[in-house]
Amino acid sequence: MRMANTISRRVFAFLILTLFLISPTVAGNLRGTGDLGLIVERAAGSIQIIETTNNTSLGRIKGLGDLSHASAVFSRDARFAFIFGRDGGLTKVDLLTRKIVKRVIQGGNSIGGAISDDGRMVAVSNYSPGGVKIFRTDTLEMIADIPATYGQVIKKGTTTITISGQSKTVGLVDAPGKKFVFSLYNAGEIWVADCSKCLEGVKPKITKFKNVGKLPYDGLITGDGRTYIAGLFGEDGMVKLDLWQDKLKAERILDGYGKGEKKLPVYKMPHLEGWALAGNRFFLPAIGHHELLVMDAGSFKQIGSFPVYGQPVFAMARPDGRQIWVNFAHPRNDTVQVIDTHTMKLLKEFKPGKAVLHMEFTPRGEQVWISVRDADRIDIYDTKTLKLVKSLPAQKPSGIFFAARAMRTGL
Amino acid sequence: MRMANTISRRVFAFLILTLFLISPTVAGNLRGTGDLGLIVERAAGSIQIIETTNNTSLGRIKGLGDLSHASAVFSRDARFAFIFGRDGGLTKVDLLTRKIVKRVIQGGNSIGGAISDDGRMVAVSNYSPGGVKIFRTDTLEMIADIPATYGQVIKKGTTTITISGQSKTVGLVDAPGKKFVFSLYNAGEIWVADCSKCLEGVKPKITKFKNVGKLPYDGLITGDGRTYIAGLFGEDGMVKLDLWQDKLKAERILDGYGKGEKKLPVYKMPHLEGWALAGNRFFLPAIGHHELLVMDAGSFKQIGSFPVYGQPVFAMARPDGRQIWVNFAHPRNDTVQVIDTHTMKLLKEFKPGKAVLHMEFTPRGEQVWISVRDADRIDIYDTKTLKLVKSLPAQKPSGIFFAARAMRTGL
């Protein structure tokens, strides 16, 4: 009887402890996820989970491997993030419990990924061994492997040269209709993978566009999911693919892009994600020049340019398109400029600190978060007053990604 | 000893029960909120909470009063909905716990509302007594009351006529910079309320535009938050306000709108929310005619029209702008048409049943939910295959609203 009593007391104590331990954790986690986001801390291999309603940090998740150049996409319920690390790691994290759900090393050297419009598939792009792999978002089980094998036969008189190999893949994006689009760096090709039936075990249907230009280094898809554009490292100009046409055809655009003037050394290739759509104009970073190019979004022709402080890396449009926020390559990476796209005037120039690496707007654009790596700091600005609202500490922060990206094509 | 043991057993049993009761509830609620939504069941005064990842119903919240013509906006974390009922009720519901958080009767007869870009203020538009009231989203405490008082003095020879009163307010939307824009039905005015400092106790700064046209009956703001457009019941044409201009000026557009042909009786005024932006063109319901008007989004001039099955009520663009889904006024409200905006062809026409009232796309457009009131049913379609994916039962469903609206301006 006494023993039974002691046992029951122990169980009792254990239960009370359990209740106390569980309740705050679970209650603390019971929250909306639409205002969540993450900050990549590249040196530490960790991410910080933040929220943008009260601008606070909620915690940190460690053990994500090599996060240099890491990026993230989000599940359609805005609860989970899929993080693409440089070491080929694909990590699914739970923003609510702030735990790693699963982590797989899917390649040797990865360079970004994308999530399908139905949220059921995540695709990863690899430098080594090249190619694209596609995984189920619920289990991270691989459902398709697309090696980027290419071959070319060149005949010169009586000589035949055969080139073949595995290409690095870059500029991977999602497109409406469960499609992924990406570029083959070494092959100069763009591939469209239709994954409508990948979840049923059917291989993706690949459409290949060859000889699109030399060394495509990055790509983007317009917010409406209609136009894929790749930048070319090996030549002037870019290449676009209008996915709405019945007969898809890769077309060259901006043929003078970067030509005609003595080039400056290029310190950092600009990110094509940083193409800013404002009304019917794109603002895009000029490569190696201290300017943004202004392009008509209908004709894809350059219609002007805007001088900026340094070589632009990201030119990000506030969601309404009224402002463009620009950061720059080393050695001018301590500065941010804000441009009014309507008056075409410089609104503000300021120096948050060394190594401004990334900027992310809240979905409705009232605030922007800026990572200042060497200051170990995130700065949050009000985009109406252009004033600093708050700073948060972060360990060598690079990319900032908000869960609202789940609602957008190509992000 | 025996008694102590009995008590401890009872406490023990109670604790176990508590654990079992709490755990599933809390654990069941621990989920992302980006894929949540609600369906208005107008006759029952209830809403159904649904999720769009697996297309299921999660539960029902009752006691929301008169929900005819009800609409909803969402908190920036996508956890809470604010529901505007016809009886002047403003109800805050928690989509996670599926409970009413707070309910206030803020007016006599309300007609929609909006949420500020920072998510901290919700505004409600009233027919009776007229005007707009603004509330804190956290507490539903009223922070600003804007009576829609208007006055007009007309002199005819030696006669002076003074007209004054309280106007019904309609077409209330949010605009970037903590602003709300709305129209005064009786006064023929558009007001812009700058609420930048309302939370600090400062009254909204009102800018009034008079004589914009007779009887504005509804309004919309373009997705970029730049242009406010009101429909005029009292005359042909519409009125627009370009919020990016330094000196704001209301301008007339589409002056022939509804003119020049023998009009059909208008069974239901179309909703301006249903203006579909596809590329650089708007598709909007013609009033009283069996067609959509096609308008250039740059010049706001009509450039064409598209014949449809009946008097269109909503013309909703899939988020990528490639398709327009149209429903119709009584007696043709059993039909839906789908138009391809690129080929300008009718893709599909089908009859879900009597009283198709509303349509809502998932944020990335892969599916659309359709309410079929008289069939007590919600139909979910795949927008790529145009096939029915699933149906869910609902009690006389009308409006469908997804939490992803939190991320968008003017929704």
- Name the residue in chain A with its Cα closest to that of B244: A342
Q: What is the pLDDT of residues A285-338, one digit of tens each?
A: 888 889 999 999 889 999 999 999 999 999 999 999 999 999 999 999 999 999
- Name the residue in chain B with its Cα closest to that of A174: B364
Residues A77-105, mean pLDDT to the nearest whole number? 96
Q: pLDDT higher for B411 or B146?
A: B146
Residues A160-172, mean pLDDT to the nearest whole number? 88
pLDDT for the residue A63: 94
Specify the DSSP class assigned to residue B70. Answer: -
Q: What is the 3-state secondary structure (H, E, C) of A242-292?
A: ECCCCCCCEEEECCCCCCCCCCCCCCCCCCHHHCEEECCEEEEECCCCCEE
Which region among B16-30, B96-110, B368-382 has the lowest average model confidence (pLDDT)? B16-30
Across the interface, whether the CB atoms of A11 and B8 are under 8 A apart is answered no
Element (H, E) at B205: strand B205-209
Q: Which residues of A touch B176 (CB under 8 A)?
A: 320, 322, 364-366, 384
Phi, psi at residue A289, to the nearest 5°? -120, 155
Tokens 């035949």, residue located: A160
Q: pLDDT higher for A158 or A41?
A: A41
Domains of chain A: 108-261 (2.130.10.10)
Which region among A61-75, A101-115, B137-151, B343-357 has the lowest average model confidence (pLDDT)? A101-115
Q: What is the pLDDT of residues A196-223, one digit of tens each?
A: 999 999 999 999 999 999 989 889 999 8
**CA B124, CA B114: separation in Å to the nearest integer?**
7
Other C-beta atoms lying within 10 Å of the C-beta of residue B87? 17
Q: Is A15 on the interface with B (CB under 8 A)?
A: yes
Residues B72-82, mean pLDDT to the nearest whole number? 98
- Residue B56 CA: distances (Å) to CA of A207, B24, B190, B370, B372: 35, 18, 41, 14, 17
Res. A14 pLDDT band, cuts 50 70 90: low
Q: pLDDT higher for B165 or B181?
A: B181
pLDDT for the residue B44: 94
Residues B8-29, mean pLDDT to the nearest whole number? 56
What percent of chain A shows pLDDT beyond 70?
Answer: 90
- Name the residue in chain A with its Cα closest to that of B178: A366
Nearest to A225 among B15, B77, B320 (CB): B320
Across the interface, whether the CB atoms of A320 and B225 are under 8 A apart is answered yes
**CA A347, CA A359: separation in Å to the nearest integer?**
17
Q: Is A117 on the interface with B (CB under 8 A)?
A: yes
Distance between B87 CA and the closest CA of chain A, angstroms:
28
Q: Which residues of B touch A96 (CB under 8 A)?
A: 30-32
Across the interface, whether the CB atoms of A319 and B409 are under 8 A apart is answered yes
B386: three-class secondary structure by DSSP: coil
Q: Is A406 on the interface with B (CB under 8 A)?
A: yes
What percent of chain B shows pLDDT beyond 90?
Answer: 69
Q: Is B263 on the interface with A (CB under 8 A)?
A: no
Element (H, E) at A294: strand A291-296
Distance between B302 CA and the closest CA of chain A, angstroms:
18
Residues A377-406, mean pLDDT to the nearest whole number? 97
**CA B74, CA B174: separation in Å to the nearest integer?**
13
pLDDT for the residue A260: 43
Q: Is A12 on the interface with B (CB under 8 A)?
A: yes
- Name the residue in chain A with its Cα closest to that of B119: A53
pLDDT for the residue B3: 54
Q: Which residues between 133 and 162 in chain B have a beta carbon less than 8 angstroms from any beta carbon of chain A? A: none
Q: What is the pLDDT of residues B255-296, one digit of tens each?
A: 877 554 555 566 666 777 767 888 789 998 888 889 999 999
Residues A263-283, mean pLDDT to the nearest whole number? 73
Taking the CA atoms of chain B, what radius of gyration do you get in angstroms? 23
Residues B132-152, mean pLDDT to the nearest whole number? 94
pLDDT, chain A, mean: 89
Q: Is A197 on the interface with B (CB under 8 A)?
A: no
The contacts of residue B29 (CB under 8 Å, 6+ apart) are A30, B96, B97
Q: Is A205 on the interface with B (CB under 8 A)?
A: no
Write down how long chain B is.
Answer: 411
Q: Which residues of A touch B4 (CB under 8 A)?
A: 5
Res. A158 pLDDT band, cuts 50 70 90: confident
Q: Is A78 on the interface with B (CB under 8 A)?
A: yes
Phi, psi at residue B7, to the nearest 5°? -60, -50
Q: pLDDT higher for A160 or A52?
A: A52
**CA A305, CA B305: separation in Å to the nearest integer?**
36
Across the interface, whether the CB atoms of B32 and A404 are under 8 A apart is answered no
Specify the DSSP class assigned to residue B368. Answer: E
